[in-house]
A and B are shown apart, each in its own frame.
Chain A
Amino acid sequence: MASSVTTAGTGPVFHLEEEHAHAEGSSTMLGFWLYLMSDCLIFAMLFAAYGVLGGNYAAGPAPKDLFDLDLVAVNTTMLLFSSITYGFAMLTMDKGRVAATQAWLAVTGLFGLAFLSIELYEFAHMIHEGATPQRSAFLSSFFTLVGTHGLHVTFGTVWLVTLMTQVARFGLTEANRRRLMCLSMFWHFLDVVWIGVFTFVYLMGMLR
């Protein structure tokens, strides 16, 4: 029956002899999305740790004594602006306009740097007041969560500068477009995480 299909002398074949062609990098976006999902799990753990430990002040400073919502609002604005300017970079990239893409990427990078500077200022201010990560479980989990997000933004900015150099040297090649799209997802993903941070850590911290 089934054996009649196979040619004499060869066993039945249960897999494709030859893998069908994949364009180079065609699976990169899905793979990068899976990386982002695993990163999302890291942040979920850190949020859970903060949720559990966030009320343990050890007779130290509480969120109300430390957080400055005006500063956080400015910080959030920086990140939101950087998201839309990265979107504009993607749109100009689609049109193949190298100079405009580079300009929007530069603006995005500046907003990212502004975000990082404000965050570092906030951290330095807190540590100066004695609210160091060692002070209480609340502060340990706070610095771990917000610091991890800040580290992501730092690496995103480094990546952005790297890609700007790439685009400057080689133009908007297929590989560079793909890399820019990966960074775009990374950047917007960090903005999504920041929504969780300002809601759960800062706003709800002030409500405690």
Chain B
Amino acid sequence: MSAHDHAEGHGHAHGGAAHGSFKGYLIGFVLSVILTAIPFWLVMSGAIDNKQATAIVIMAFAVVQIVVHMVFFLHMNTASEGGWSMLALIFTLILVVIVLTGSLWVMYHLNANMMPGLHDMREMP
């Protein structure tokens, strides 16, 4: 009996519960259609005058949609695989944030400082 329970605990990866339900997929699909349609509409119609504001809004929509996909399609939760998949995800996200912000930040400043004719160039001999 206890051995059977043990095997069940390990075999939960191919148990039925991990797949979600029809309702879950449908909710995820409807949400992702809405979260895709709004940014496309914002950019195509130019509803927000300020381009930077539009960029921030569509990025926020992308983040929300990624979370929706993770939860409803990839069935991420803190319990799956005993929390290890969540841990791997968090580790990856930290690396992704470091790679993206680091590259953009450093290279932006490098670009800005390499431009000829900028104000700090005037002080140079």
Binding site for B on A (CB under 8 A): 20-23, 25-30, 33-34, 37, 40-41, 44-45, 47-49, 51-52, 69, 72-73, 76-77, 80, 83-84, 87-88, 90-91, 93-94, 174, 177-178, 181, 185, 188-189, 191-192, 195-196, 198-200, 203-204, 206-207
Contacts of A83 in B (CB 8 A): 29, 32, 69, 73
Could you say which of A94, A189, A199 contacts B74, with CB atoms under 8 Å apart? A189
Please, how many residues of chain B have a CB less than 8 angstroms from a CB on the other chain?
A: 51
Q: How far is the CA of A185 from the CA of B73 in the complex (A)?
A: 8
Q: How far is the CA of A207 from the CA of B39 in the complex (A)?
A: 12
Jot down 7 A-B pairs with beta carbons below 8 A, ordered by A: A30-B81, A30-B84, A33-B88, A44-B95, A48-B99, A90-B19, A189-B74
Within the complex, what minimum Cβ distance (angstroms) separates A205 from chain B? 10
Q: How far is the CA of A22 from the CA of B11 in the complex (A)?
A: 8
Nearest-neighbor residue (CB-CB) of B76 within chain A:
A33
Quick check: B74 and A204 within 8 Å, CB to CB? no
- B121 at the A interface (CB under 8 A): no
A-B CB proximity, top 9 nearest? A48-B103, A87-B25, A199-B62, A29-B13, A188-B73, A37-B92, A44-B96, A52-B107, A84-B29
Q: How far is the CA of A90 from the CA of B74 in the complex (A)?
A: 12
Q: How far is the CA of A22 from the CA of B61 in the complex (A)?
A: 41
Within the complex, what minimum Cβ distance (angstroms) separates A64 from chain B? 11
Quick check: A52 and B65 within 8 Å, CB to CB? no
Nearest-neighbor residue (CB-CB) of A70 within chain B:
B44
Contacts of B32 in A (CB 8 A): 80, 83
Q: A47-B100, A49-B103, A80-B33 are in contact. List 15 more A-B contacts (CB 8 A).
A: A25-B13, A26-B10, A30-B84, A30-B85, A33-B85, A51-B103, A77-B36, A83-B29, A83-B73, A189-B74, A195-B65, A195-B69, A198-B36, A199-B39, A199-B61
Within the complex, what minimum Cβ distance (angstroms) separates B56 from chain A? 10
Interface string of B1-41 (1 = CB under 8 A from A): 00100110011011010111110011011001100100110
Quick check: B99 and A44 within 8 Å, CB to CB? yes
Contacts of B55 in A (CB 8 A): 204, 207
Contacts of A48 in B (CB 8 A): 99-100, 103-104
Nearest-neighbor residue (CB-CB) of B107 within chain A:
A52
